[in-house]
Homo-oligomer: A and B are copies of this chain.
């Protein structure tokens, strides 16, 4: 195979991983901001988000370049198409991390309220695992890992639904907490969306390896 294409594909893969790492880091920081209520995490997220956006544009350009110059087919083509989508998904994750960080900044102004323990520990961990695993699955073309990610999403949805109940309950109990509660719910939603996007990535991995679209299978 052409050395040139091979190198370009390698480079693309590396870039996607780098983007993934940056996104992961943004999510971590966003969660830290939320849990530790420190502005420095928020700033880090915002800084990362800029880089993520730049990186996303670059990756998209690279994909376009590879498509235009090397005209890949079969596996290579699927890899590029998936890269394009994963790239998009990661950028959105970055957006959500930013949103979480923004909410965290708002919440720092307010009294903290106690909330579901799952929300504080399990949800962030789940989401981070999903992100990391989906990227791992992408790199290693590991279909079973991808399936695990997809399975995790149910748990995330469940916690998110619980959060909705919880927030409604809190707001009803204490009207003054309504704003905080709604903000918390937003962050939960954002995490849930990040989980969804990880699921998308996992689905794309399966598509890439098996050549089968599974995202609307359920």
Contacts and interface: CB of A to CB of B under 8 A. Distances in A.
Interface of A: 53-54, 56-57, 60-61, 63-64, 67-68, 71, 73-74, 77-78, 81, 84-85, 88, 164, 167-168, 171-173, 175-176, 178-179, 182, 185, 213, 215-216
A64 B85 contact: no
- Dominant secondary structure of chain A at its interface with chain B: helix
A216 B54 contact: yes
Contacts of A56: 216
Given A167-B182, A178-B178, A67 B77 contact: yes
B57 A68 contact: no
A81 B54 contact: no
A68 B67 CA distance: 10
Contacts of A168: 178-179, 182
Contacts of A64: 77-78, 81
Given A60-B81, A167-B182, A173-B175, 7 more contacts: A56-B216, A57-B216, A67-B81, A68-B77, A88-B88, A168-B179, A171-B178
Contacts of A85: 84, 88
A78 B65 CA distance: 10
A213 B60 contact: yes
Given A77-B68, A81-B64, A88-B85, A172 B182 contact: no
A36 B53 CA distance: 40
Contacts of A67: 67, 73, 77, 81
Contacts of A213: 57, 60-61
A214 to B, nearest CB: 10
